């Protein structure tokens, strides 16, 4: 007797304990019809499958074999322009012998779900779709077509078919941390808020992920991304200062070298950073630590307004005088990260007047000198001082009169020290570590409001034994000499220069006054690096904290000779404590959660900064050492240093939990994101955005 096979709709398909039943639902999620091919005719069961399955549709089938002890075998073929699919179903009364599978080829993919498998019943779902690569590239194609007539061709950068285009695209993809190589589908250079709005809405309507870049200095590369649409704001670099209010309206594409020079020409300034090539936007939204922090606070405290494109594509003007949504979003941008809440296309920052005299200076302890065979730079134990001594002296300087309640009491609080950081270089592990005697190279950097004579008196008063350190004035500025502020006062404070190391190995010296010395060629260039951070609590490190910090800087993972190969490992301590936060903490309205901290601790590892090392490519012996240096970073991230907490989002390390970065502001920031950013599908996301 021949087997009987019946086909019904799913809703008519009732399970029968004595009848072998296959229920299957086939989804055609492509935009083309799937047509049954001739190969399907070899199996008579396949005749009940439809000849065609329409695009973006589904069919429901119920197959029965009422012959006791029999089986159901199905092998049916479909195809369209994207590829072929073979659906194979085998059902017997033994569930362990029953199976369902789909074999797709070319640009089709499948997903098979087994919903139920009993003695007599097999229930399955089969989804046929185009390759996600095909779908995504079609979306990119549609997105770019939609931009025609609205965005000029020279505003779009994509990888092309010839060498010239490939080179230009690779250069356009470059971010500051060259450890991370990211390749967006397209880079769109926007020049206005309306262009940002159009590009953003076009990207999300075509189901494409976005990233936003202004300066490109995100240490974890979250300002870009592979397989994304990168909205580049570098051409949005206007600067306008309202002389009456002192408010500067600044485009997000401005970098500090140009921006500070333009502001200084008008005798005003904002609390900028220490690296000339950093962009204003990400710097401000992450808090904005720099050489003005002790005196003027973080840059985010000066943010009084912004223009932002929200998740639904609408444009919103933010200020403290606007509605609740605007006020809450503005609060979030003051140190709560930027991309989480929208795309900021203009910042309004309250400027301050520049002092009559401004001095940029350095103090160096335990200098490196060339050893006898001129192959290594060593700390020669002559006129050295234990690290703990100048670390405590530096802490005393930034915390002078900490906790006083009235501005009137700040006459002796070192308020002339506008800002400072302290760099301490890591060294190989000592045989007998002693926190009271261990010696590291150390450089203090600072801005001073006043003349050279007063600065010299300040240094003599606060730092003992002048024979143990070198004091260098690196630049002097005043209201009549701020013309080249960006290039003279803004060059990187703490990054070491392989160019300088080579000079020292050849017997050179570092001059005490470097006003006419050009910036070392590797200091402002992109380079591979890794960074992590924490902050020192209000009560200070204390003896146990000091010991732990210095122990973290004395490690077997730091190899002798690293510096000579251009591999630099060190920390920088950035002063927060000063007249600004000592006097204004309670009245400040910002998301920056670390107003009461003494200073930041930033662990850093940099390599391949110089052209000489970059040209060596993979033939560079530094690669024998990088993994150990990165291991050191990981150890330091988890090092237990008493009286420290948190982490600074501008010194981003993706391994640190997001909540740690935002501390007491975290819950409110999440609520603002959910309630006011109009970004229900979280298009504004990277690894360390607030959600």
DSSP string, 60-79: EEEEEE-STT--EEEEEEEE
pLDDT score of 516 more than 50: no
Is 685 contained in some domain?
no
**Dihedral angle over CA of 410, 416, 419, 420, nearest 10:** -110
Using CA atoms, how far apart are residues 270 and 406, in angstroms rounded to an integer?
24
Query: 380-384, 548-552, 590-594: which range is least confident on average?
Result: 380-384
- E-strand stretches of 92-205: 99-104, 108-117, 121-130, 156-157, 186-189
Residues 426, 553 contacting (CB under 8 angstroms): yes
Mean pLDDT along residues 512-517: 44
Pair (573, 489) in one structural domain: yes
Q: Are residues 279 and 327 in the same domain?
A: yes
Provide the whole-model pTM: 0.89
For residues 114-143, give the mean pLDDT: 95
pLDDT band (50, 70, 90) for residue 406? very low
Residue 518 is predicted with a pLDDT of 41
For residue 598, give the nearest of 549, 552, 555, 553 by alpha carbon: 549
Instruction: Note whether residue 684 is domain-resident.
Output: no
In a domain, 661, yes or no: no
Predicted local confidence at residue 46, as pLDDT? 79
Question: What's the CATH code of the domain at 197?
Answer: 3.30.43.10
**Is it the case that residue 119 has pLDDT exceeding 50?**
yes
Q: Give the burial class of 564: count Cβ atoms within 10 A of its Cβ; 0-12 exposed, 13-18 middle, 19 or more buried.
A: middle
The DSSP result for 188-244, as a single string, is EE--SHHHHHHHHHHHHHTT--EEEESS---TT-TT--TTSEEEE-TT---EEE-TT
Check pLDDT > 70 for residue 313: yes
Residue 205 domain flag: yes
Q: Average pLDDT for residues 532-536, to the nearest whole number?
A: 98
Same domain, 426 and 568: yes
Lowest mean pLDDT among 368-372, 428-432, 474-478, 657-661: 368-372
Q: Of 1-10, 411-420, 540-549, 620-629, which gets the smallest average pLDDT?
A: 1-10
Torsion of CA 628, 629, 634, 637, to 10 degrees: 150
Same structural domain for residues 641 and 608? yes
Structure tokens at 338: 């930027």
Distance CA 602, CA 573 (A): 6
Average pLDDT score over residue span 109-130:
95
CATH of the domain at 260: 3.30.465.10
Q: Residue 284: is its pLDDT beyond 90?
A: yes
Domain membership of residue 682 (yes or no) is no
Domain boundary among 192, 212, 232: 232
* Confidence class for position 614, pLDDT limits 50, 70, 90: low
In this structure, the answer to whether residues 225 and 267 fall within a common structural domain is no
Name the pLDDT band for 11 (thresholds 50, 70, 90): very low
374 and 481 assigned to the same domain: yes
CA 480 to CA 267: how far, in whole Å?
Answer: 9
Q: What are phi and psi of 672, to 5 degrees?
A: -60, -45
Task: Tell me which range, 55-64, 380-389, 499-508, is most confidently predicted by mean pLDDT.
Answer: 55-64
Structure tokens at 12: 């008519």
Q: Is the pLDDT of residue 512 over 80?
A: no
What gap in Å lies between CA 308 and CA 343, rounded to an integer?
Answer: 5
**Which is nearest to 67 in space by CA: 15, 111, 120?**
120
**Cα of 20 vs its chain's centroid, Å:** 58
| Domain match, 218 and 244 both | no
Read off the pLDDT band of 330 (50, 70, 90).
very high
Instruction: List all residues 6 or more positions away from 108 whose beta carbon is below 8 Å from its beta carbon.
Output: 30, 80, 82, 83, 84, 85, 128, 129, 130, 131
In a domain, 683, yes or no: no
Q: What are the CA-CA distances from residue 118 to residues 115, 254, 364 (Å)? A: 10, 66, 78
How much is the average pLDDT of 104-118?
A: 95
Q: How far apart are CA 583 and CA 590, in angstroms?
A: 15
Residue 338 lies in a domain: yes
Q: Tens digit of pLDDT for each residue in 441-492?
A: 999 999 999 999 999 999 999 998 888 899 999 888 876 677 788 888 876 6
What band does 48 get if pLDDT is binned at 50, 70 and 90? confident
Containing domain of residue 402, as a range?
357-512+519-656
CATH number of domain containing 608? 3.40.462.20
Query: N- to C-terminal Cα distance for the chain?
Result: 64
677 backbone φψ class: left, alpha, beta (φ>0; ψ -120 to 50)? alpha
Number of residues assigned to the chain: 691
372 and 228, same structural domain? no
Are residue 504 and residue 429 in the same domain, yes or no? yes
Q: Are residues 72 and 49 in the same domain?
A: yes
Q: How many CA atoms lie within 13 A of 184 on its CB side?
A: 30
pLDDT tens-digit map of 347-402: 999 999 999 999 999 999 999 886 655 566 677 667 899 999 999 999 999 998 66
- Token pair recorded at residue 14: 């009732």
Residue 615 — pLDDT band, cuts 50, 70, 90? low
CATH of the domain at 46: 2.60.270.50
Picking from 130, 164, 190, the residue at the C-terminal end of a domain is 130
In angstroms, the CA 496 to CA 520 distance is 9
- Is there a single domain that holds both residue 281 and residue 207? no
Q: Residues 100-117: what's their mean pLDDT?
A: 95
Q: Which residue has the higher pLDDT, 48 or 617?
A: 48
Our count of domains for the chain comes to 4
Mark whether 111 and 159 lie in a shared domain: no
Domain boundary among 214, 232, 250: 232
Domain assignment of residue 687, yes or no? no
How many angstroms separate the CA atoms of 322 and 55, rounded?
49
């Amino acid at each position: 007797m021949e087997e009987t096979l019946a086909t019904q709709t799913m809703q008519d398909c009732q399970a029968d304990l004595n009848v072998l039943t296959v229920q299957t639902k086939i989804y055609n999620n492509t935009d083309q019809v799937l047509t049954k091919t001739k190969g399907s005719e070899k199996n008579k069961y396949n005749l009940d499958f439809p000849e065609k399955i329409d695009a973006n549709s589904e069919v429901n089938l119920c197959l029965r074999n009422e012959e006791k002890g029999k089986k159901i075998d199905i092998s049916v073929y479909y195809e369209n322009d994207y590829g072929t699919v073979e659906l194979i179903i085998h059902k017997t009364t033994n569930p362990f012998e029953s199976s369902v599978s789909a074999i797709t080829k070319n640009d089709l993919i499948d997903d098979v779900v087994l919903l139920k498998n009993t003695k007599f019943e097999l229930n399955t779902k089969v989804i046929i779709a185009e390759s996600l690569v095909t779908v995504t590239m079609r979306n990119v194609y549609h997105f770019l077509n939609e931009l025609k007539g609205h965005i000029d061709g020279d505003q779009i950068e994509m990888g092309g078919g010839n060498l010239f285009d490939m080179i230009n695209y690779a250069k356009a993809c470059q971010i500051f941390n060259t450890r991370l190589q990211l390749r967006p589908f397209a880079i769109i250079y926007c020049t206005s808020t309306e262009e940002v709005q159009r590009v953003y809405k076009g990207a999300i309507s075509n189901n494409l992920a976005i990233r936003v870049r202004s300066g490109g200095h995100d240490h974890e590369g979250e300002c870009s991304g592979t397989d994304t649409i990168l909205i580049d704001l570098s051409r949005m670099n206007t600067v306008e200062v309202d002389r009456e209010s002192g408010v500067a309206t600044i485009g997000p594409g401005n970098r500090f070298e140009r921006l500070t020079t333009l502001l200084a020409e008008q005798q005003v300034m904002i609390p900028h950073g220490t690296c000339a090539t950093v962009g204003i936007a990400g710097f401000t939204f992450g808090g904005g630590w720099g050489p003005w922090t002790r005196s003027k606070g973080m840059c985010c405290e000066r943010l009084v307004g912004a223009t932002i494109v929200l998740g639904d594509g609408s444009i919103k003007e933010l200020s403290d005088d606007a509605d609740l949504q605007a006020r809450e979003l503005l609060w979030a941008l003051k140190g709560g990260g930027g991309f989480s809440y929208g795309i900021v296309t203009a910042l309004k920052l309250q400027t301050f007047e520049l002092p009559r005299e401004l001095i940029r200076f350095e103090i160096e302890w335990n200098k490196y000198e060339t050893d006898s065979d001129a192959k290594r730079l060593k700390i020669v134990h002559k006129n050295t001082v234990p690290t703990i001594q100048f670390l405590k002296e530096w802490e005393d300087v930034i915390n002078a009169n900490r906790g006083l309640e009235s501005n009137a009491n700040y006459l002796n609080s070192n308020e002339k020290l506008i800002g400072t950081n302290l760099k301490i270089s890591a060294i190989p592990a000592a045989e007998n570590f002693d926190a009271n005697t261990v010696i590291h190279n150390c450089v203090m950097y600072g801005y001073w409001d006043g003349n050279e004579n007063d600065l010299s008196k300040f240094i003599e008063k606060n730092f003992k034994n002048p024979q143990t350190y070198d004091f260098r004035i690196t630049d002097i500025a005043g209201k009549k000499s701020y013309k080249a502020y960006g290039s003279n006062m803004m060059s990187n404070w703490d990054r070491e220069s392989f160019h300088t190391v080579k000079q020292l190995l050849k017997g050179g010296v570092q001059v005490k006054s470097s006003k006419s010395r050009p910036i070392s060629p590797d200091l402002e260039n992109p380079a591979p690096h890794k960074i992590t951070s924490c902050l020192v609590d209000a009560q200070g490190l204390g003896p146990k904290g000091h010991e732990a910090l210095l122990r973290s800087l004395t490690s077997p993972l730091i190899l002798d000779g690293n510096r000579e190969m251009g591999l630099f490992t060190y920390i920088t301590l950035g002063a927060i404590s000063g007249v600004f936060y000592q006097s204004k903490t309670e009245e400040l309205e910002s998301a920056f959660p670390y107003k009461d901290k003494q200073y930041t601790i930033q662990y850093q590892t940099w390599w391949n900064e110089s052209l000489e090392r970059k040209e060596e490519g993979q033939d560079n012996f530094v690669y024998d050492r990088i993994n150990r240096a990165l291991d050191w970073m990981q150890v330091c991230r988890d090092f237990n240093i008493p009286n420290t907490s948190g982490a600074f989002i501008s010194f981003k390390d993706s391994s640190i939990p997001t909540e740690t970065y935002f501390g007491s502001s975290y819950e409110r920031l999440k609520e603002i994101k959910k309630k006011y950013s109009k970004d229900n599908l979280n298009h504004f996301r990277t690894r360390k955005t607030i959600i």
